[in-house]
Amino acid sequence: MSLKICVAQLNYCVADMPGNAQKIIDAARAAYQDGARLVLTPEMAICGYAAEDLFLRPSFISACDDAVNRVARELAGLKGLTVVVGTPTRGDVGKAVRTKSVEVQQRHNSARVIREGGIIASYAKHELPNYQVFDERRYFTPGQGSCVFQAGEGSDAIRVGLLICEDAWFEEPPRLAQEAGAELLVVINASPFHVGKGGERELRMRETCLATGLPLVYAHLVGGQDEVVFEGNSFALQADGLLAGRAESFKENLFVVQVESAQGAIKLVANSSPKRSNEADLWDALVLGVRDYLGKNGFPGAILGLSGGIDSALVLAIAVDALGPERVRTVMMPSPYTADISWIDARDMAERMKVRYDEISIVPEFNAFKASLAGEFKGLAGDTTEENIQARIRGVFLMALSNKFGSIVLTTGNKSEMATGYCTLYGDMAGGFAVIKDLLKTTVFALARWRNENDPYGTGSCPIPERIITRPPSAELRADQTDQDSLPAYEVLDAILSRYMENDQSVESIVAAGFERAVVERVARLIRINEYKRRQAPVGIRVTHRSFGKDWRYPITSKFGA
């Protein structure tokens, strides 16, 4: 027995059903020419993941049905080819769920099994995740039963048990497939990236193999969709859980798995991409997130304020790796408090990255604002008001350039700042995409050092001047200012944020771990009182298991701080 399987690890776009269908058709034809007789597409490949409230629109589901039928029709002549297509489907006729005051038909997160022009089997996902960024119970109802179909012909035929993503993390769906006679499990997935997630997946799927005694092929998608990124990294495991092969991460790939029979047992053979460092994964996730957000939304390029500081430097390096230097523009906007070394380092980095660099002073506008407000502010000392005016002038300039030339403004705030409110509404928060929104400040420094030691996209080695990394961080909105004037040391702050925000530890447990109570309580308070700012922040790339996005749904008005 010998069967070649192809995983169509491709970059599908949400709601581009014609384009996604064509990708599947092209991949299936290429795989068939290469000898594959089973092609797997990821979860919701026909419409992209996640389509959110589009799933509630009857016309959307109809368009998905049409696209699946087109795939079946155009592949009808490929004798012996079986294709699994992830798609939303309608549920039982007559059954409905209520959303607001409107009843809509039930939906399923499904897969259609296509062969020679027809749909020979269907499967609806059992386990609907409703945590982190997932909200599937809002849109879908659980499926029941199992789906086992035959792939290949004659002596090469094999009985395949089909699962969708979360199903494989639970005991019952794989067991049902095994009891129905499956000889191989295939799992189609749309599982958003966060650092370390790939290892978690492989470990859990090993447990599934050991529990069922069956080999497993894990089919995953790749690409950026708003705040989430999918890294590909499809893989195959033997029945004993050992790795048979792994596809490349963050790249489209037709990942081939050969199924063979050896001494009465099924063996999987595939090429294997080596494991990578967390920093390499993190960098590729950020680059892919930027590239797809701009590309799929039609932005011609990106613009950012280059301050000479670490955050904007890192965003620039990511943007150039994602888009190329010709599509990235930088603007230095000095104030009366901008240090000479900030000018020097900003110019230096722009030259290293070969991007357009302009300088627009905000001093005349700042003076004009102060003069206009002099009567209102008479007798009052300067404070954050004047600092915020500077940030907002810069925001106005960047948005004006964006409006005039069409490039999207990339904001440069990091997770530590977003957590504590160390950012200005309509100032440095003004923009369309927050590239490093989910990076703690300590991670920003670590990733900057990693990029200076690596050049994964060939845009230039050591792009970030060393002084940008080593100098004390400063917003430069008043004389001799540093971040630590108003925030704890970032090593302490980020450790508290990781415990409190990312892992839901209480103030008491963090204090018990050795942190100073006054500092912990202050950080918790800053997180609580700055929720209103985060609600107005641009969408940004999620790279941890808990981001300030769909992962974080806290009330703005709240007195709870424990």
- Closest among 296, 282, 290 to 249, alpha carbons compared: 282
- Closest among 184, 188, 124 to 151, alpha carbons compared: 184
Report the CATH number that the domain containing residue 28 is assigned in CATH: 3.60.110.10
**Burial of 164 by CB count in 10 Å (0-12 exposed, 13-18 middle, 19+ buried)?**
buried
Q: Are 204 and 90 in the same domain?
A: yes
Predicted local confidence at residue 9, as pLDDT: 98
- What is the set of active-site residues? 43, 125, 165
- Closest among 151, 67, 168, 64 to 108, alpha carbons compared: 64
Q: Are 373 and 446 in the same domain?
A: yes
Cα(317)–Cα(320) distance, integer angstroms: 5
Predicted local confidence at residue 154, as pLDDT: 86
Do 252 and 6 form a contact (C-beta atoms < 8 A)? no
Query: Would you say residue 540 lies in a domain?
Result: no
Q: Are 333 and 393 in the same domain?
A: yes
Q: Are 336 and 421 in the same domain?
A: yes
Predicted local confidence at residue 94, as pLDDT: 43
Q: Are 105 and 132 in the same domain?
A: yes
Helix (H) or strand (E) run with residue 209 in it:
helix 197-212
Mean pLDDT split into 10-residue runs, the chain, 562 residues: 94 98 98 98 97 94 97 97 97 55 75 97 95 90 96 91 97 96 97 95 97 98 97 97 97 96 87 92 98 97 96 98 98 92 94 97 96 96 93 96 97 96 94 97 97 97 95 70 76 96 96 96 95 95 94 88 78
The residue written with tokens 């809509």 in the block is 104
Range of the domain at 74: 2-276
- Domain boundary among the residues 242, 276, 310 is at 276
Query: Would you say residue 506 lies in a domain?
Result: yes
β strands within 320-439, DSSP E: 328-332, 356-359, 408-411, 433-434
Query: Would you say residue 556 lies in a domain?
Result: no
Do 1 and 158 form a contact (C-beta atoms < 8 A)? yes
Q: Are 289 and 436 in the same domain?
A: yes
- To the nearest 5 percent, what fractions of the chain are helix, strand and coil? 40, 20, 40
Q: Are 308 and 251 in the same domain?
A: no
Query: Would you say residue 560 lies in a domain?
Result: no
Do 429 and 464 form a contact (C-beta atoms < 8 A)? no
Predicted local confidence at residue 102, as pLDDT: 53
The residue written with tokens 């700012």 in the block is 533
Do 374 and 339 form a contact (C-beta atoms < 8 A)? no
Q: Are 119 and 223 in the same domain?
A: yes
> And the tokens for 394?
């810069």
In DSSP terms, 267 is beta-bridged to 260
Report the CATH number that the domain containing residue 311 is assigned in CATH: 3.40.50.620
Tally the domains of the chain. Answer: 2
Helix (H) or strand (E) run with residue 244 in it:
strand 243-246
Predicted local confidence at residue 392, as pLDDT: 96
Predicted local confidence at residue 481, as pLDDT: 60
Predicted local confidence at residue 561, as pLDDT: 78
pTM, entire model: 0.94
> And the tokens for 27?
């991949």
Q: Are 322 and 194 in the same domain?
A: no
